[in-house]
Chains A and B, each alone.
Chain A
């Protein structure tokens, strides 16, 4: 069995707590640089926010108009040039219990299992 995240971007309130919790799992500190999941906040002016996360093979973009899964290596036209790009971050290792899901107070992140 492996675990993966199911994200409902419309429930997300944009607090970024998942990102900090994942970063804490990696680095035992509070930071936005080391998480496998991050709050997409590059389009603040049009209120377009959601979550991005990286698995071993894919980039998952859970944004208000839907969830897209792209194989890594495909061009990502909408990644912010600043900060630390998601491609340079560690992939989600399916940790259990997932701190991102535990930290989400909006019920936007759920851990699902698949065979």
Chain B
């Protein structure tokens, strides 16, 4: 079906095989994509400890906020756990030729999954095992000769099964609050590397193009939260003070694929923050990917530079930033070195789960099915659900009304977070 990559990849780590199957039209119409697709695949392979990566029909398109992919697994009680994949991870996965990837079993030795041009391969990762996430991403990009390869990396924390081990996106923390670093580490998977040079066709190409640009124009004319930390901290009384504290270290903020938001702030601490050129300082700073953790470090007495260094150390280890920040602050530390020592001394720390009573709202669930970032949808009233469904209809030719779509989102039972930053 148009707008989809039309393939679901099956990776059997125990057997060491990869097999691409078609994403059949009748299944598309039943589950649409995203978390609904992921939950179907988790159920189908429930007896093989599955980890699923999935995208939605709008992932990778010009719909504003269409960056979203998800990674999913089953919790101990059998409830699906979903973490968002943002930046360029969702779009790169889909452009690499797969709507979804199912990873089952356990590899007898370290491997990484390499996806490109509709081809999948399990590559030897024995030389990568033990490296931090920055080293891992660099090594894969160098080995494949392409700096733009997107790497979901497992750090040493994930290799050792730390409950707070999260997947890292190239070099940066993610909103993975379900320990996918440990889940993949337990399977001897060091990374998922993706490069997307495919093409997604649309049923009504010109009409969808114009509709997508109109959605974008509606977003920009209505206006968005100007920037980052304050908008993300949901009215914390000291959010403005936190932003002021951080400002001297801020280099530039950035967003995800096809999204107008600038949710991520890059801070520099190894060269002046205002340096705009590419210098010979290869690692001048770090992208801050968890606003709550930034606020915690501010309140705990860290300088913005030391907060940035702590973020780097946490990302290199492949740990959940807020869990690490809370540990560092609770230990009374105010420097990255001391804070990371406190973090390392508590490898069994668990991620405090954010549970929304009654589950996330319909708009969040819709985003997670369609491949549109829920944080963007929370920040902007536009596009509305009907605009998003019109994009799906124009792109796929599917007959999909609000009632039918509501049935799909209502069937989603897993844990979703409206937060991606």
Q: How far apart sit A43 and B254, CA to CA, in the bound complex (Å)? A: 14
| Cα A81 to Cα B60 with chains together (Å) | 23
Q: Considering the complex, which residues of chain A in the window 64-85 have a beta carbon less than 8 Å from any beta carbon of chain B? A: 64-65, 78, 80-84
As a 0/1 sequence over residues 282 to 316 of chain B, the CB contacts with chain A under 8 angstroms (1 = contact) are 11110100000000000000000000000000000
Instruction: Return chain B residues, CB-CB under 8 Å to A53.
Output: none
In the complex, B134 has a CB within 8 A of chain A: yes
CA distance in complex: A103, B282 (Å): 32
Q: Which residues of A contact B283 (CB under 8 A)?
A: 45-46
A residues in contact with B195, CB < 8 Å? 82-83
Q: List 30 A-B contacts (CB under 8 A).
A: A10-B252, A13-B253, A13-B259, A16-B257, A16-B258, A17-B216, A17-B257, A21-B213, A24-B62, A24-B205, A28-B206, A29-B202, A29-B205, A31-B197, A41-B148, A42-B147, A42-B148, A45-B170, A45-B282, A45-B283, A46-B279, A47-B252, A80-B146, A80-B148, A82-B144, A82-B147, A83-B148, A105-B64, A105-B219, A105-B220
Bound-complex Cα distance A15 to B61 (A)? 12
Residue ranges of B at the interface with A (Cβ–Cβ < 8 Å): 60-62, 64, 88, 95, 134, 138, 144-149, 170-171, 195-202, 205-206, 209, 213, 216, 219-220, 251-262, 266, 276-279, 281-285, 287
Query: Which residue in chain A gives the minimum CB-CB distance to B258?
Result: A17
CB pair B199 A82 closer than 8 Å: no
Contacts of B197 in A (CB 8 A): 31-33, 83-84
User: Which residues of chain B are within 8 angstroms of A20 by Cβ–Cβ distance?
Assistant: 61-62, 258
| B260 x A106 contact (CB < 8 A) | yes
| Secondary structure of the B contact surface, majority rule | loop
Set of chain B residues within 8 Å of A63, measured between Cβ atoms: 278
- A-side contacts of B171, CB under 8 Å: 44-45
Once A15-B260, A30-B62, A44-B171 are accepted as A-B contacts, the answer to whether A83 and B146 lie under 8 Å apart by CB is yes
B95 touches A32 (CB 8 A): yes
In the complex, A28 Cα to B203 Cα: how many Å? 10
Q: Which residue of B lies closest to A46 (CB)?
A: B284
Task: Name the residue of chain B whose CB is nearest to the CB of A31.
Answer: B199
Residues from chain B with Cβ under 8 Å of A107 in the complex: 220
Apart from A47-B254, A103-B213, what 11 extra A-B contacts exist at CB < 8 Å? A13-B260, A15-B256, A16-B88, A17-B257, A24-B205, A30-B61, A30-B62, A33-B197, A33-B199, A46-B284, A83-B197
CB neighbours of A91 from chain B (8 A): none
* Distance A41 CA – B197 CA, assembled complex (angstroms): 15
In the docked arrangement, what's the CA distance between A105 and B215, Å?
A: 10
A14: Cβ under 8 A from any B Cβ: yes
